[in-house]
């Protein structure tokens, strides 16, 4: 039983990373209409920014996380303005943006490789909370608790932002129809910048926390999150962060339990089987709107 | 004048006769390649998932070429020119690089590959092109196919079996849990060999935890392994997972014995993981801190001077590969073709210049006899392993 609960927590923490990443990925898709293949690189670069903040400047853990989050957000804004804004102006549609995002993915991945000397780096153990929290018979790493809480805060915060604030209403309006939103008085350009930043920052948070907990800061970090984050978005629903959060956690738990009780070889197979099942049976995902269609 | 000419002709005749006689008796001993520059293609892996090791292999080869050319090791006026093409550990790119080297008639041999599947993909291409290929990193048994495909890499099996026996005798574990790559045949074989040794010594298998090469989160696998409560955990995985697994085991509070393979030996791995690696034994053929042959000392000194850091086991392999090609070239005559070089390489029975203290070649496969069992100390030094 103890093993079961410990693995449940492991899966929950792992799934929280997928969900955090997926929230950013879903925001970009639902608001900006971009299936952004470069999104994984924001996580990689955020982790790299956080790592170098610690390595070069010896900053404490919260500052390292902030550096990664802000770095991820700014990178997303830069990519959006250089790569996607010109396409948006020409109304090239989703395919043009996808192709552009693949180009950015390759470029940013290569640069990330050079930034890390093509190596997998790790945050020094003394630079983050690395103790175990004892809960009765259970021992839970502090970073897992932080990751789970980070997802909770981000999900609630972004959900409230989108559903309960004027900014959120503007984001939804731009997501539905940019021109109509602009005619209604929404500053679409600002909304796009804010959405890109928010998406990059959320995925950046997943990158920094993932880089710390897995002792892996490298250009490959984002690729792993990308596939699972995409699955979380599809299963949870493109336009609802609650669905992405729940789906991400479920994916993490399933992944860990399949490896523990069935076989590692089937682990990813189960994930993608679930993805396929949702695409066929419930393409709008757990919480997605029935009428969600990109404008 | 006429008398002088006759005398000169007589002297010339004697000299010519003596030279002809000398050539007749000692022809093979005087065989040497013609002076000139011979191209060697190096398929680098300086980018991609194995770049950390790839850079080391490449640097070792660069140092070897500098030494060989500087000392005239092959012969008077004979020099090697290293040409590089990057594969990023991708088989398709490696084949492309090999094809390009093959088209360049100045390239007389090629050396490549960390990954066995990549090396296997190159085998038919290089054999068809009749271009000697020397493997510097891949370790799957059966890759060499002399004379065109040979390997200077000592197979890990024997050294790991030797370490496993040593651990079985000194630690006397009753139960062992193993980590293994589910998607890597080479490591599965290495795990099975170690498991066989342990079970023959009476150590039961408490569990086998499979991971995948691309995995990065090892908290759950570490939890799974710790739950089996073993006396020893043996890690038979590729580098990134091995480092991550050991870090996760220690982070979760596992204080028992762990062993690993030589993948944790490079300095960047210790820099990344730190004291969590301390005391974990691993078998190794070369370590700058403990290899002590004259060739090893010279290599360590030259490498440190050139690159500002000590060489690792991978740079030693890159270094050995180039000396091996140079040795083959040294045994050719005149202006050797690729076929001549392949034949000469195929006849090498032992590497003349190596840092291991002896590298016999059997059917194109290196067999390193003097393996060491080492471990990292908490302050980042590699020392001979002792049970503490």
Q: What is the pLDDT of residue B24?
A: 40
pLDDT tens for residues A183-218?
A: 888 888 899 999 999 999 999 999 999 999 988 898
d(CA A118, CA A109) in angstroms, rounded, equals 10
Band of pLDDT at residue A289, cut at 50, 70 and 90: low
pLDDT tens for residues B205-249?
A: 999 999 988 888 899 999 999 999 999 999 999 888 999 999 999
The helix/strand count (H/E) of chain A reads as: 12, 2
Q: Say if A101 falls within a structural domain.
A: yes
Name the minimum distance, in Å, from the CA of A132 to any CA of chain B. Answer: 7
ipTM above 0.95, yes or no: no
Q: What is the pLDDT of residue A62?
A: 95
The helix/strand count (H/E) of chain B reads as: 12, 14
Q: What is the pLDDT of residue B267?
A: 85
Residue A134: domain span: 20-227
Q: What is the pLDDT of residue B22?
A: 43
**Hey, is the C-beta of B211 within 8 angstroms of any chain A C-beta?**
yes
pLDDT (average), residues A39-62: 95
Residue where the block lists tokens 């004379």: B147
pLDDT tens for residues A144-156?
A: 999 999 999 999 9
Q: Is the N-terminal amide bond of B147 cis, ω within 30° of 0?
A: yes
Residues 69-108 of A with CB under 8 A from B: none
Name the minimum distance, in Å, from the CA of A201 to any CA of chain B. Answer: 22
pLDDT higher than threshold 90 for residue A33: no
Chain B residue with CA closest to A141: the answer is B252
Cα dihedral B87, B91, B94, B96 in deg (nearest 10):
-120
Q: Say if A106 falls within a structural domain.
A: yes
Cross-strand bridge partners of residue B350: B360
Whether A122 sits inside 8 A of B273 (CB atoms) is yes
> Is the CB of residue A245 less than 8 Å from the CB of residue A295?
no
d(CA B315, CA B309) in angstroms, rounded, equals 11
Band of pLDDT at residue B1, cut at 50, 70 and 90: very low
Q: Say if A53 falls within a structural domain.
A: yes
User: A124: exposed, middle or buried (C-beta count within 10 Å: 0-12, 13-18, 19+)?
Assistant: middle
Whether A3 sits inside 8 A of B54 (CB atoms) is no
Q: How many domains does chain A have?
A: 1
Out of A287-291, B21-25, B58-62, the most confident range is B58-62
> Is the CB of residue B311 less than 8 Å from the CB of residue B304?
yes
Q: Distance between alpha carbon A189 and the CA centroid of its chain, in Å?
A: 23
Band of pLDDT at residue B31, cut at 50, 70 and 90: low
Domains of chain B, each with CATH number or no CATH:
36-154+292-371 (3.40.50.2300), 157-284 (3.40.50.2300)
pLDDT higher than threshold 60 for residue A292: no
């Amino acid at each position: 039983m103890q093993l079961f609960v410990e693995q449940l927590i492991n899966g929950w923490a792992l799934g929280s990373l997928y969900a955090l990443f997926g929230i950013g990925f879903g925001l970009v898709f639902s608001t900006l209409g971009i299936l952004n293949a470069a999104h994984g690189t924001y996580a990689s670069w955020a982790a790299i920014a956080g790592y170098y903040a610690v390595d070069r400047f010896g900053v404490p853990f919260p500052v390292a996380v902030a550096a990664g989050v802000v770095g991820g957000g700014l990178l997303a804004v830069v990519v959006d303005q250089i790569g996607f804004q010109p396409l948006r102006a020409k109304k090239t549609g989703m395919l043009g943006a996808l192709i552009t995002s693949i180009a950015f993915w390759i470029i940013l991945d290569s640069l990330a490789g050079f930034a890390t000397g093509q190596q997998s780096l790790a945050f020094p153990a003394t630079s983050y909370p690395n103790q175990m929290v004892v809960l009765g018979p259970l021992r839970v790493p502090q970073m897992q608790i932080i990751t789970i809480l980070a997802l909770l805060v981000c999900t609630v915060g972004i959900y409230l932002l989108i559903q309960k604030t004027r900014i959120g209403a503007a984001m939804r309006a731009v997501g539905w129809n940019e021109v109509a939103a602009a005619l209604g008085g929404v500053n679409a350009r600002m909304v796009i910048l804010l959405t890109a930043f928010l998406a990059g920052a959320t995925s950046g948070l997943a990158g920094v926390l993932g880089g710390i907990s897995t002792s892996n800061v490298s250009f490959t970090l984002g690729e792993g999150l990308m596939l699972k984050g995409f699955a979380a978005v599809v299963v949870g629903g493109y336009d609802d962060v609650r669905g992405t959060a729940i789906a991400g956690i479920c994916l993490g738990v399933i992944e860990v339990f399949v490896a523990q009780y069935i076989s590692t070889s089937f682990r990813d197979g189960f994930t993608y089987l679930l993805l396929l099942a949702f695409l066929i049976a419930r393409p709008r995902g757990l919480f997605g709107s029935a009428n969600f269609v990109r404008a | 004048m006429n008398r002088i000419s006759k005398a000169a002709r007589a002297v010339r005749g004697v000299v010519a006769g003596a030279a002809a006689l000398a050539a007749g008796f000692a022809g093979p001993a005087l065989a040497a390649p013609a002076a000139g520059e011979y191209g060697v293609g190096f398929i680098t892996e300086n980018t991609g998932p194995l770049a950390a090791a790839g850079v080391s292999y490449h640097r070792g080869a660069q140092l070897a070429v500098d030494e060989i050319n500087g000392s005239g090791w092959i012969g008077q006026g004979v020099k090697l020119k290293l040409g590089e093409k990057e594969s990023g550990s991708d088989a398709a790119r490696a084949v492309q690089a090999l094809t390009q080297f093959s088209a360049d008639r100045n390239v007389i041999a090629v050396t490549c590959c960390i990954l066995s599947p990549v090396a296997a993909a190159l085998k038919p291409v290089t054999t068809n092109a009749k271009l000697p290929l020397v493997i510097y990193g891949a370790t799957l048994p059966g890759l060499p196919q002399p004379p065109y495909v040979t390997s200077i890499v000592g197979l890990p099996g024997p050294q790991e079996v030797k370490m496993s026996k040593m651990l079985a005798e000194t630690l006397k574990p009753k139960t062992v849990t193993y980590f293994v790559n589910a998607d890597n045949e080479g490591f599965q074989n290495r795990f099975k060999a170690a498991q066989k040794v342990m079970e023959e010594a009476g150590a039961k298998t408490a569990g086998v935890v499979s991971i995948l090469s691309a995995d990065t989160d090892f908290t759950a696998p570490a939890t799974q392994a710790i739950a089996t409560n073993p006396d020893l955990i043996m890690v038979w995985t590729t580098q990134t997972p091995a480092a991550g697994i050991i870090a996760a085991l220690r982070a979760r509070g596992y204080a028992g014995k762990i062993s690993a393979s030589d993948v944790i030996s490079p300095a960047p791995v210790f820099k990344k993981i730190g004291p969590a690696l301390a005391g974990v034994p691993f078998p190794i053929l070369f370590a700058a801190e403990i290899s002590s042959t004259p060739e090893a000392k010279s290599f360590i000194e030259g490498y440190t001077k050139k690159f500002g850091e000590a060489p690792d086991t991978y740079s030693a392999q890159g270094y050995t590969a180039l000396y091996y090609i140079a040795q083959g070239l040294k045994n050719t005559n005149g202006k050797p073709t690729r076929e001549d070089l392949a034949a000469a390489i195929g006849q090498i029975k032992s590497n003349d210049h190596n840092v291991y203290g002896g590298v016999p070649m059997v059917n194109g496969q290196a067999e390193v006899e003097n393996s060491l069992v080492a471990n990292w100390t908490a302050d980042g030094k590699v020392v001979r392993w002792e049970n503490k």
